[in-house]
Amino acid sequence: MIDETAEEIAGMQTHSSSEVAIKAARALKSVADREFPSVGDYKRSLERNSNALRRANPSHASLHNTQREIVRRVDETDTDTVGEAKQRTAEIIDEVIERVEQGKSAAASRLADLLGDRETLLTHDYSTTVLSAIETAVEDGGEYTVYVTESRPRYLGRKTARRLAETDGVETKLVVDSAAGSYLPECDRVLVGMTCIVDRTLHNRVGTYPLAATAADSGVPVLSVGSGAKLIEGGFRFENEHRAASEVMREPADGFEIENPAYDATPVELLDRIVTDKAVIDPASLG
The low-confidence residues of the chain, meaning pLDDT below 50, are 14
71-124 confidence digits (pLDDT tens): 999 999 999 999 999 999 999 999 999 998 899 899 999 999 999 999 999 999
* 2-104: CATH architecture: Up-down Bundle (1.20)
Q: Do 151 and 205 form a contact (C-beta atoms < 8 A)?
A: yes
Between CA 135 and CA 161 the distance in angstroms is 13
Q: Do 133 and 123 form a contact (C-beta atoms < 8 A)?
A: no
Q: Decide the pairing of beta strands 263-267 and 273-275.
A: unpaired
CATH number of 106-285: 3.40.50.10470
Q: Do 61 and 195 form a contact (C-beta atoms < 8 A)?
A: yes
Residue 232 has a pLDDT of 83
- Backbone phi and psi for residue 122, each to the nearest 5 degrees, phi listed first: -135, 135
Q: What contacts 186, CB < 8 A, 6 or more positions away?
A: 120, 147
Between CA 5 and CA 53 the distance in angstroms is 8
Between CA 122 and CA 185 the distance in angstroms is 10
At residue 31, the 3 state secondary structure works out as: helix
265-287 confidence digits (pLDDT tens): 999 999 999 999 999 999 999 97
Q: What contacts 76, CB < 8 A, 6 or more positions away?
A: none
Residue 4 has a pLDDT of 78
CB atoms within 10 A of CB 110: 19
| Length, in residues, of the chain | 287
Between CA 23 and CA 75 the distance in angstroms is 21
CA dihedral over 268, 271, 275, 279, signed as positive or negative:
positive
Residue 147 has a pLDDT of 98
Between CA 133 and CA 149 the distance in angstroms is 18
At residue 265, the 3 state secondary structure works out as: strand
Residue 150 has a pLDDT of 97
Residue spans per domain, the chain: 2-104, 106-285
Residue 55 has a pLDDT of 86
Residues pairing with 37 in the sheet: none
Equal CATH topology for 2-104 and 106-285: no
